[in-house]
Amino acid sequence: MARKLPKVDVVIVGVGWGGGIIASELTKAGLNVVGLERGKERVTEDYYMVHDELRYALRYELMQDLSKETITFRSNEKIRALPMRTYGSFLLGDGIGGAGVHWNGWTFRFMPYDFQIRSQTIERYGEKKIPPGMTIQDWGITYDELEPYFDKFEQMAGISGEDNPLAEQMKAKRSNKYPTPPMKHSPAMRLFTEAAQKLNLHPYTIPSANLSAPYTNPDGIARAACQYCGFCERFGCEYGAKADPVVTVIPVALKTGKFQIRTYSNVRRILHTGGRATGVLYVDVTTGEEIEQPADIVVLTSYVFNNTRLLLLSKLGRPYDPRTGKGVIGKNYAYQVQKGQATGFFENKEFNVFAGAGSLGMYVDDFNGDNFDHSDVNFLHGGGINILQLGKRPIQNNPVPKGTPTWGKEFKAASIKYYTRALTVGTQGASLPYQHHYLDLDPTYKDAFGDPLMRITFDFEEQDRELSRYLATKSEEIMKEMGADKVEASKELGPYDITPYQSTHNTGGVIMGGSPDTSAVNNYLQMWDAENVFVVGASAFAHNSGYNPTGTVGALAYRAAEGILKYHQAGGGLLV
């Protein structure tokens, strides 16, 4: 029998961005909150030896230990799903701060079109434009309704940025300017900007959670400016310059005296009866003891996969059935389309590629969302086009022109020569959902506790291949304009492959929407089927945009926090 603890107001499962934001908002309002986190504690002092590419970027020091838990994957239902045994496609967070510790910090707001994608597509192109099997749907909220929460996240994190020149066309209003100015521009960024402008595109500096200047946020948290140290993506920031839950929201929650974090606490089940959660069951992984934590409200903030998995394991909510399209838990899993890009080789110019910051770069939205006419293309949505200056570390960056041998003397010479002479215009394409892309419990493979792993059934579709080609062509045009001596575009997407890193932008599984028939949570991320359970994260996304997810995750978390407070005050009931 599990040991039962005294009841608290709220229990949070996982303490990353989602958990940290919920904890800070609820404790500031006086609620007692317990945060259960399966991993360890983290502090800025941990990063004394952080400029170590092998340890952090290639041996995944900060990421989830796959020997204990992973996911399984298959391209479609005819194939046996097999475990992701080593890292590749995406990197899962673990420990206090979650993936928010080792993220890059590109902080976008999804655009108005995203939230009403289905109705706007039908309005502009007719229903036939949506290919069979594509399950895009409106999110049950509009950009304007979400705007104050985007702002809240940006003010808290101190996002450095400038206005998007297409904001007006996109109808993306801002109530406030970015709290800090845009990041510095490197020569590569200047080159890209000039080329894009010549092509009548509208480049802007990527909104960045690496601070361009020292900043004190509305909670009184002061942080240092970014040093462009070049060890950011996959690393923790030794300066606290990168917005990370550990240096922003978590200390605010702890200061109230109302937030208790329990590390090494792995949650296995949500306990519930009669459509209401009563608490959670977790294991103290240091002792193996099973513990029950009763709570009035349960908040899942354990990332896309475990948000979905815990609901399925706990038999809470209606599991999705890909045959009928009915049910909701596990529905609309989506990812990101990143293949389309163009690399340019410069014979007579060297760039300081070793320097950079996680979110340093330029972005172009002219081919993102519905910012261009889709009448003559065979895909919906689009993607952002970028140039990046993240800091190229030497093991992982060996760009060579096509036809160069992959090892030996010639490879050595070319990889050394072009290390400082190659730039890439990259793209980040939207990923739209299909009826047969989903998450469920794997029938065979288990985690360290014997619970089934999450199973992903996903592949790229014709939509994605068309989009990839389109964006690659646009990238190629920009790179040519930038004056590279040789330009190589990568156009063909191929099947989804779990082995190369692409992005940790997994979405869906517990999606939000306007109706319980088609969504799992309402626009406060409150479960339609269990009113005292809130499920926070990119799991709520009904599709993925041509942007990174976390700005929108943050906004939704602030909105969920407001919903939880309302729910707590009202003493129950659905908020929508």
Ligand X SMILES: Cc1cc2nc3c(=O)[nH]c(=O)nc-3n(C[C@H](O)[C@H](O)[C@H](O)COP(=O)(O)OP(=O)(O)OC[C@H]3O[C@@H](n4cnc5c(N)ncnc54)[C@H](O)[C@@H]3O)c2cc1C
The residue among 234 and 474 lying less far from ligand SF4, judged by its C-beta, is 234
The binder of 214, among ligand X, ligand SF4, other proteins, none, by C-beta within 5 to 8 A per type, is other proteins
Contact of residue 237 among ligand SF4, ligand X, other proteins, none (CB under 5-8 Å per partner type): ligand SF4
- Running DSSP on this structure, what letter comes out for residue 383? E
Partner residues linked to 3 by β-bridges: 291
The nearest distance, CB 111 to other proteins, in angstroms, is: 29
Residue 190 backbone phi and psi in degrees, to 5: -65, -40
- Least Å distance, CB 137 to other proteins, is 28
Between vectors from CA 546 to CA 544 and to CA 552, what angle results, nearest 5°?
60
Of 240-299, binders to ligand SF4 (CB under 6 A) are: 241-242
Q: Which of 102, 272, 437, 505 is catalytic?
A: 505
Asked if 264 interacts with other proteins (CB under 8 A), we say no
E-only strand ranges, 165-213: 203-205
Q: Which does 185 bind (CB under 5 to 8 A by kind): ligand X, other proteins, ligand SF4, none?
A: other proteins
By the 10 Å C-beta count (0-12 exposed, 13-18 middle, 19+ buried), 127 is classed as exposed
Name the minimum Å distance from CB 335 to ligand SF4: 25
Residues 245-304 that bind ligand X (CB under 6 A): 266-267, 301-303
Q: Which stretch binds other proteins (CB under 8 A): 274-282, 304-312, 322-330, 410-418?
A: 410-418
- Rounded to whole angstroms, how far apart are CA atoms 245 and 251? 8
**Type of residue at 572:** G
Q: What residues pair up with 269 in beta bridges, in sequence order?
A: 281
Q: CA dihedral defined by 317, 141, 331, 126, rounded to 10 degrees?
A: 140
105 binds ligand X (CB under 6 A): yes
Query: Residue type at 340?
Result: G
CA-to-CA distance for 500 and 47, rounded, in angstroms? 26
Q: Considering beta carbons, is residue 12 or 229 the nearer one to ligand SF4?
A: 229
**Residue 208, number of CB atoms within 10 A of its CB:** 28
Q: Which does 267 bind (CB under 5 to 8 A by kind): ligand X, other proteins, ligand SF4, none?
A: ligand X
Query: In angstroms, rounded to a whole number, what is the distance separating the alpha carbons of residues 260 and 112?
Result: 37
Does 98 sit near ligand X (CB under 6 A)?
Answer: yes
SS (H, E, C) 445-464: EECCCCCEEEEEECCCCHHH
The Cα–Cα gap between 162 and 152 comes to: 17
Nearest to 55 by CA among 322, 380, 393, 390: 393
Window 40-59: residues binding other proteins (CB under 8 A): 48-49, 51-54, 58-59
Q: Binding of ligand X at residue 35 (CB under 6 A)? A: no
**x/- binding map, residues 471-510, to ligand X, per CB under 6 A?**
---------------------------------x------
Q: 120, 197, 378, 398: which one contacts other proteins (CB under 8 A)?
A: 398
The letter for the amino acid at 8 is V
User: Which pair of tokens denotes residue 356?
Assistant: 């950079």
Residue 223 is which amino acid? Answer: R
Both tokens assigned to 319: 């599991």
Contact letters for ligand SF4, residues 349-388 (x by CB under 6 A)? --------xx------------------------------
- 231 contributes a contact to ligand X by CB under 6 A: no
The rounded distance, in Å, linking the Cα atoms of 282 and 273 is: 17
Annotation says 505 is catalytic = yes
- 434 binding ligand SF4? (CB under 6 A): no
485 binds other proteins (CB under 8 A): no
How many chain residues touch ligand SF4 (CB under 6 A)? 14
Counting contacts by CB under 6 A, is residue 91 touching ligand X?
A: yes
Q: Could you say which of 47, 60, 87, 106 contacts ligand X (CB under 6 A)?
A: 106
**DSSP states along 432-446:** --BTT-EEEEEEEEE
For residue 333, give every residue at least 6 positions away whose Cβ sits within 8 Å of its Cβ, in sequence order, or none: 433, 437, 438, 439, 456, 457, 458, 506, 507, 508, 509
**Binding to ligand SF4 in span 164-223, by CB under 6 A:** 210
Q: Which of 32, 38, 195, 215 binds ligand X (CB under 6 A)?
A: 38
Residue 85, both tokens:
């045994």
210 binds, among ligand SF4, other proteins, ligand X, none (CB under 5 to 8 A by kind): ligand SF4
Nearer Cβ to other proteins (343/371): 343
Minimal distance in Å, beta carbon 534 to ligand SF4? Answer: 30
CB of 280 to other proteins, least distance (A): 25
Distance CA 181, CA 567 (A): 37
For residues 522-551, which are near ligand X according to CB under 6 A? 537-538, 548-551
DSSP reduced 3-state for 344 = strand
- Under a CB-based contact definition with an 8 Å cutoff, are residues 404 and 414 in contact? yes
Question: Which residues contact ligand SF4 by CB under 6 A?
Answer: 210, 226-229, 231-232, 235, 237, 239, 241-242, 357-358
Interacting residues with ligand X (CB under 6 A): 13-19, 36-39, 91, 93-95, 98-100, 102-106, 233-234, 266-267, 301-303, 306, 359, 504, 537-538, 548-551, 553
The catalytic site residues sit at 505
